Structure 1
Amino acid sequence: MDNIISIISFCMLLCFAFIQAAPSGSLVTHLPGFRGVFPSKHHSGYVSIGDKNLFYYFVVSERNPGRDPVVLWLNGGPGCSSFDGFVYEHGPFNFQEGKPKGSLPTLHLNPYSWSKVSNIIYLDSPAGVGFSYSQNTSAYTTGDLQTAADTHAFLLKWFGLYPEFVSNPFYIAGESYAGIYVPTLGSEVVKGIKVGAKPTINFKGYMVGNGVTDPFFDGNALVPFAHGMALISDDIFQAAEIACGGDYSNSSQICEEKLEDVSEAIAGVNIYDILEPCYHDPTSQQGPEGNTSLPDSFKQLGVTSRPLAVRTRMFGRAWPFRAPVKDGIVPLWPQLAQSQKSYVPCVNDEVATRWLNDVMVRKAIHAEPEDVAGPWVLCTDRISYYHDAGSMIQYHKNLTAGGYRALIFSGDHDMCVPYTGSQAWTKALGYKTVTPWRSWTSRDQISGYLQGYEHDITFLTIKGAGHTVPEYKPLEALDFYRRWLDGKPI
């Protein structure tokens, strides 16, 4: 008995030391709108990279902080805040619209938070996005390569502030334009490891969801997707195919004319999920009650109920369909909203905007006030961003050939970055298939399909999910995320 007590006491001392190692002043002790007890520690604050102040929110794992992976989460845009992921996708809370309208939302624990199985950092990047800012406005002109370098510098400083996590497996994850952020950052991390940058990051791999990758594959994804989903007729599809010679990034006049027919046919469809209406009806947000078929793995994590239906959010978080972007300056979402004929205001961001611009919320999470960092908006127009890294194909080849794991996942009803492009480029890497196309299940139901390749790269679809997979399919997303991080078959 004395030995058992000694062991317990020792473990408690280790746990206490582990918790106390975080930098002073970073601990989040309360959040307006939430009245419960945090299931794990939360930290937030700024890391300065030269004259750039990058804001992060760090959620410690609810399972085993000392052993669980550290995952950096990046939303896309470029120019969109990673609080998108925190508020609407896989953060520790579900946000319920405040009553009366305009009041602060009420926060409830999210049973499908990715912090159930990982330590997760939500980073606003680059400077000028979300709460990240600079007093030098020239810092708001940036691009793929500079953003990757800045984020790598952030990570080195962050792990210096949280040395207790340096030995944990580290993964980079993101969605949409983070299909550029993730592999370019991964490349920077690998370079840093090779030259002995300290602290040594225990980088293991990366995840990309519905990610921008390559102008040829991305540009040729939408038309076959729209045809396969019965959004355009055989006649429209065949006319476009003939006019464009099978390459829909073809800039010929006749090709453009036929693509206008495609655009006209799909006008009014929610590009983020073709199954969802544009501007969600608030009365349709209630999900089914109860769940009698949750797997034991979820019950062990404290998950006891089904997810609610997709939450409302704004139009604009990702590379748009048919955006005029190759190598060069990238039009940001507020600009595209004004210029794109196909603009469809399908969803809104009122809950996040109301909460994150509240003075007490900003104080609680250690974000600078509005007169310093500016107002929080989901997708900003105050940066000028250059897509200067080119295609991501070679980045993926280098990382996977170097022994880093990769999961490329795709909501199969997203028309913004359709699965057809992601499936095509993963196959085009030329790797041998080691897991032939098959279904994967969650709750004993088919939840999507996957194909595995050598060098530990997996392409995975999520059945019925839109552009932001965890928002549409939170339970299934946590399921494949947990299994992949734990090195178990999906």
Structure 2
Amino acid sequence: MASQVPKLLTSTSFTACGAPKWLSYCWRLLLLLVLLPHVAFSGQIVKYLPGFDGELPFKLETGYVSVGDSELFYYFIESQGDPQEDPIFLWLTGGPGCSSFSGIIYEIGPLEFDINRYKGGLPKLKYYPYAWTKTASFIFLDAPVGTGFSYSRTPQGWLTSDSESAEQSYQFLRQWLLEHPQYLLVQLFIGGDSYSGITVPLITQKVVEANEAMVYPYLNLKGYLLGSPATDQLLNANAKIIFAHRMALISDQLYEKLKTSCNDSYVDVDPSNTACVAALGTYEMCIKDLYTNDILEPSCVFASHRENPETVRRSAKENPKNFILSPPRIPELWCRNFNYVLAYVWSNNLEVQDALHVRKGAVSTWQRCNQTLSYTKDVQSVIDVHRYLSNKGLEVLVQNGDRDMVVPFVATQTWIKSLNLTISDEWRPWFVDGQVAGYTRKYVKYSQNATFYLTYATVKGGGHTAPEYYRRECYDMFQRWIHYYPL
């Protein structure tokens, strides 16, 4: 195949220009006939999963795509609506190093653990109806290498970074779509949350630049979506002080002292600035016992199914607040980390791995979030990338839980403001079932023949990341936005 083709060959402009819908379908069929003889499929359909009763009520495909020395694992869930017309997302979970399975089971996918009746053994799965896959197809990618079931064939391949991960994810997307050409014609979005706020804009930029250079295949990019996104490391760190003050975690007096003595900069403070160092020490004392993912929830130890019981007992005795509390069947002792333990138990089960077509021996132990990656954070800010993309006529959704202290809403609102967009819809509440679910504002930017739209939304009471805490509300937010309705 040629490396470059005219944009027309993969464009969906037929119906947009007024041609009848049947012509669009005929063109789709022609495209498939051209591409299919060259396709080598890497994925396999999964109809049954251990722990789930009966056949899955949605199409699930899993597999690996080779990118350089890396074998990147994915879960593909086809839209339960109209997959020939509904958009498709490449979805990355944050970390870096958190498996996209976490996004499926805890945030936006059509499955959840039956935690209320768990009594040991293999956790049970049940269908979750308010999944984003009801109205869009999702490729949940384990990236970077070392995440979930993704691995490298060589020692050197385990070394990665922000820029390398973005390039690998971009190459994965191109190859996956070549293997699944029926999705080349639907609208494409890049999405992710938390630390993926760094890589998602970088991947989006690569798609834009390749399309403008007429690189084959043309990807029908429509926009991107970010949840609680890391964007600028310095901005995010400084915003936590403002957030702590707004949430009444620190006093007015301490906040004023911090601002004055630290000159509004709280990172890499000069040790000789004793007033600032002392104020920061008081600040750390005030917030150190909080669960920063959600300041309203109990702080518990990081969950792992391989936790040494003796270590846990000793930790509980020496520091009683640092232990995993009881399952949710004892609500007053509930801890969110119990949910995470179930993912370790389920994903490390050999029957589960066989059902998912995981390559034997590739990954010794599955981890929800791998904290031992050989990873370099070589991109400190992507604000300039957002500024570049704001000239490209894209649709963007950015959302924050308003009780998230990992990526405070203060930071997100600050970098959005720095883009100098025009406010098209003023700040207002948005509702689910007649109740305020959060607040939203919409921005617009006109440039040449393109119009850029950015919708920003908070999720009231939400943590990091918001869909894990308010799954139903975030589903309503997503399905309104993806169908071009106001929130």
Q: By the TM > 0.5 criterion, same fold?
A: yes
Distance in 2 of aligned mates of 1:64 and 1:481: 16
Map of 1:148 onto structure 2:
166
Residue 261 of structure 1 corresponds to 282
Matched AA of 2:439? Y
Check conservation: 1:400, 1:406, Cα contact below 8 A: no
Deviations 1:215-269 (A, max 9, x none): 3321221111111111111122122111111222351233233122111101211
Cα drift, residue 97 of structure 1: 4.0
- In the aligned structure 1, how far is the partner of 2:457 from the partner of 2:330? 28
Question: Are 2:487 and 1:466 aligned?
Answer: no
Partner of residue 245 from structure 2, selected from 210, 227, 236: 227
1:169-205 deviation per Cα after TM superposition (whole angstroms, max 9, x unaligned): 1111111101101101111111221222222211111
What residue is the counterpart of 1:297 in the other structure? Answer: none
Q: Post-superposition shift, 1:312?
A: 5.9
- 2:127 is aligned to 109
- Verify: 1:386 aligned to 2:383, yes or no: no
Name the SS for the 2:122 alignment partner. Answer: coil
Name the CA distance, whole Å, in 1 between partners of 2:335 and 2:187. 33
Give 2:290's aligned amino acid. V
Matches within 5 A, 1:273-292: 273-279=294-300, 281-282=325-326, 284=328
- Give the whole-Å Cα distance in 2 for the aligned partners of 1:147 and 1:25: 21
In the alignment, the residues of structure 2 paired with residue 95 and residue 233 of structure 1 have an alpha-carbon distance, to the nearest angstrom, of 40
Identity %: 38
- Residue 355 of structure 1 corresponds to 346
> Counterparts of 2:103 and 2:433 in 1: how far apart (Å)?
24
Contact 1:102 1:354 in 2 (8 A): no
Q: Distance in 1 between matches of 2:152 and 2:125?
A: 30
Q: Which runs of 5+ in 1 are unaligned?
A: 1-6, 288-308, 315-346
Does residue 57 (structure 1) correspond to residue 66 (structure 2)? The answer is no
More displaced, 31-40 or 53-62? 31-40
5+ residue gaps in structure 2? 1-21, 301-323, 445-451
Distance 1:312 1:265 in 2: 21
Q: Which amino acid aligns with 1:441?
A: F
Does residue 1:127 correspond to 2:145, yes or no? yes
Question: CA separation in 2, counterparts of 1:25 and 1:248?
Answer: 47
The answer (yes or no) to whether the contact 1:98–1:105 under 8 Å persists in 2 is: no
How far the C-alpha of 1:273 sits from its partner, in A, is 0.6
* Partner AA of 1:486 in structure 2: H
Letter in 2 for 1:218: N
CA shift at 1:427, angstroms? 0.8
- Residues 32-82 of structure 1: per-residue CA shift (max 9 Å, x gap): 000133222110100001221000000111111111110111111111111
Is contact 1:312–1:349 with CA below 8 Å preserved after alignment?
Answer: no
Aligned-partner Cα distance in 1 for 2:89–2:277: 41
Distance (whole Å) between structure 2 residues aligned to residue 418 and residue 22 of structure 1: 44
1:98-132 C-alpha deviation (Å, 9 max, x unpaired): 97744111111012211111101110001111100
Q: 1:179 aligns with which of 197, 219, 225?
A: 197
Q: Which of 391, 400, 416 is equivalent to 2:406? A: 416
Corresponding residue for 1:488? 485
5 Å-filtered alignment, 1:78-97, equals: 78-97=96-115
Q: Does 1:457 align with 2:454?
A: yes
CA distance in 2, matches of 1:286, 1:202: 49
Q: Deviations over 1:388-422 (max 9, x none)?
A: 23311110011121111211110000011111110
One-letter code aligned to 2:347? L
SS at match of 1:122: strand
Contact 2:49 2:56 in 1 (8 A): no
Q: Is the 8 A contact 1:222 1:415 kept in 2?
A: yes
**Could you tell me which of 420, 430, 436 is aligned with 2:420?**
430
Please name the residue that 1:441 is paired with: 431
- Residue 373 of structure 1 and its aligned partner are, at CA, apart by 2.4
Distance (whole Å) between structure 1 residues aligned to residue 191 and residue 484 of structure 2: 16
* Root mean square deviation, CA, Å: 2.6
Deviation at 1:282, TM superposition (A): 4.4
Name the SS of the counterpart of 1:89 in structure 2: helix
CA contact (8 A) 1:151 1:185 kept: yes
Corresponding residue of 2:14: none
Q: Which residue of 2 aligns with 1:3?
A: none
Structure 2 SS opposite 1:488: coil
Contact residue 48 and residue 54 of structure 2 kept, 8 A: no
Three-state SS of the structure 2 residue aligned to 1:477 is: helix
User: C-alpha distance in 2, partners of 1:32/1:458?
Assistant: 39
8 Å CA contact 1:80, 1:379 repeated in 2: yes
Confirm whether residue 364 of structure 1 aligns to residue 361 of structure 2: no
Indicate yes or no: 2:392 matched with 1:374: no
Structure (1 or 2) with the larger CA radius of gyration: 2
Structure 1 CA distance, aligned partners of 2:40 and 2:122?
A: 29
Matched positions, count: 422
Q: Tell me the equivalent position of 2:476.
A: 479
Alignment check: 8 A CA contact 1:140 1:382 kept:
no
Asked if residue 76 in structure 1 is aligned to residue 97 in structure 2, the reply is: no
Alignment partner of 1:26: what SS?
strand
Moved more, 238-247 or 58-67: 238-247
Change (3 A) 1:312 1:202: farther
Assess if the C-alpha contact under 8 Å between 2:71 and 2:150 holds in 1.
yes
1:284 is displaced (CA, Å) by 4.5
Distance across 2 between alignment mates of 1:28 and 1:22 = 18
In 2, Cα distance between the equivalents of 1:165 and 1:401? 26
CA contact (8 A) 2:395 2:454 kept: yes
Change (3 A) 1:248 1:46: same
